Structure 1
Amino acid sequence: MREKRARVEKVTEIQRHREGREVGRPRKLRPSENHLYFDAVVRHGSIRRAADALHIASSALNRRILDLEHEVGTALFERLPRGMRLTTAGEILLGFVRKSMKELRRAELEIEQLRGEVRGVVRIAVAESVTPSFLPEAISSYQATHSGVGFHVEVDGPDALVDALSKDSVDLILTHEAPSMPSVTVLAEVRHELCALVAPDHPLARFERVALSDCVEYPLAIPDQSLAARALIELVAEETALTLRPALESDSIETLKSYARLGRAVCLSFRVGPDDESPGLVMIPLSDPPCSEASLYLAARRGRVLPVPAASFVEVLLPLFARHPSNARSVVA
């Protein structure tokens, strides 16, 4: 009896080893094989090419697709001389299959988080002003303890940032324009005033604060209409009856800064990091209230459960917001 039990336990141990089920060794979560095969045929466009990629016989793959069509109760593909084309029913099923595969991967990441193994990619869209130091420092600090997480960063204007967030193209945004859409929730806010950046020998460089009316006396290098700073500048100009005649407009803040370094131009940009993030320029806060009270917002889509890497990155960003030198109006939600 003992010998029989020992043989059974030995067989069970071998089976677990083969299947990767030993205690402490996690298995990769996988969708159903029929869904994987269906997705492969869609991606490769034919049974033969998909079978080659999957390293199985074409006849076996074709049987799997026929079984799936029988299960669904309708044809999923049109069989054409040069390949396979989805029917309307096939397109509907493809959307479900790919969404379920994505959700399964997300569940796998969350389970890894329970074991302290955060992996994946954080997708974040930001205003250009945070790219010189604020965002790179935050990412570097986070990856010091989460080496398995990568980042994909997009730089754009405020409308495009909110659009990307609403479509779930990104997990988070950092924007200077307060999101007004009900589908967006602000996670944190910190004051980031608008400043004039000038060369050290510029006549304005000796002042601690200047008004927009002081700046218009010199060539202006200002953000174009796609960036949030432009709306603030135009608001102040309208309130103070100033006429803006920019010498240079661009959606690239670095281009504007480089232009200001070369002469008597005044570049207008948000202050996000320390003064030394703009070498060769003196940073002077604007005294006009809309500019001096400007903010940076960290936001996510309302109601969305963030992927584990993005949620844990937020926990790193919040203290950085709280410690920012301009955090007099900081509101952390």
Structure 2
Amino acid sequence: MQYRKLGKTGYDVSTISFGAWAIGGTWGQVDDTQSMAALHRALDLGITFFDTADVYGDGHSERLIARLRRERPDPFIVATKAGRRLDPHVAGGYTEANLRRFIERSLKNLEMDALDLVQLHCPPTVLYRQSEVFEVLDRFVQDGLIRHYGVSVELVSEALEAIRHENVATVQIIFNAFRLKPADAFFAAARAANVGILARVPLASGLLTGKLRADTPFAADDHRAFNRQGEAFDKGETFSGVEYATGLEAVERLRPLVPQGVTLAQFALRWILMFPEVSCAIPGARNPQQVESNAAAADLPPLTPEQMDAVRAVYDDLIRAQVHPHW
């Protein structure tokens, strides 16, 4: 496993970390025994950063991580998110009282005295221009409720706005071989501001595993079945906003680039780590085998310039027009 600094937090985090959305909900049926085995295997393999949210399974994901903390003495960093419990989810709901309530609930779920990192969970765009919300988070740091804070964003423009607030330590953003815009339009600014970057949806909701087919079935409670057009939340969260058929075509273009003995998923994760501004990629995993496959990507040799150019060519030919203008 390899490690990088997480921006202003100063934390050293594993470059392949653990995204805990899939063990919480909206990915089909979950098995807590398998989820716990996956979490334990992550620690075995040197993974030190776990990303969750208060709405993943209505706190279920957080509670599983609390159980991991009880069962293992290994030190690790936990990041959670706050804001999506609001109904309606509007900027005006991000009050000090509401945020305090969400954070105190996460503290209880995670069985922690202070949260390592809290991220505003894809709030409305206008919120990034409201300095008073970030002043509230500063007070929570001073009060000892949280140690650091960041944001999880949908848009590159939101990321750029967020890092104007000097104490924003991290930005979580969708970044993968089907989402190149952050590298082109955000990474340099994040580097200059010493902001850590968490690459979420790194496998494009499973498309970049190469295991999905045109007839792959998805459970009714799997967002890949019910959110393809943004019916429940931002369309970009599902398959990175790429139309499913286009994504499958792009995957076939990528397959010949993958070295022997390496999976497409590992290749896609290693591609992300070719960008030094990225602190870590946070793929999900629901069993120990998936964790092992993800973690192995950290120690693969660097991709060649020719491979990097070829990935960009696939993006330019098939993906760019669908996603670049929108996120």
Q: Give the TM-score of the pair, scaled to structure 1.
A: 0.25
Higher strand fraction (1 or 2): 1
**Structure ID, larger Rg:** 1
Q: Give the TM-score of the pair, scaled to structure 2.
A: 0.25
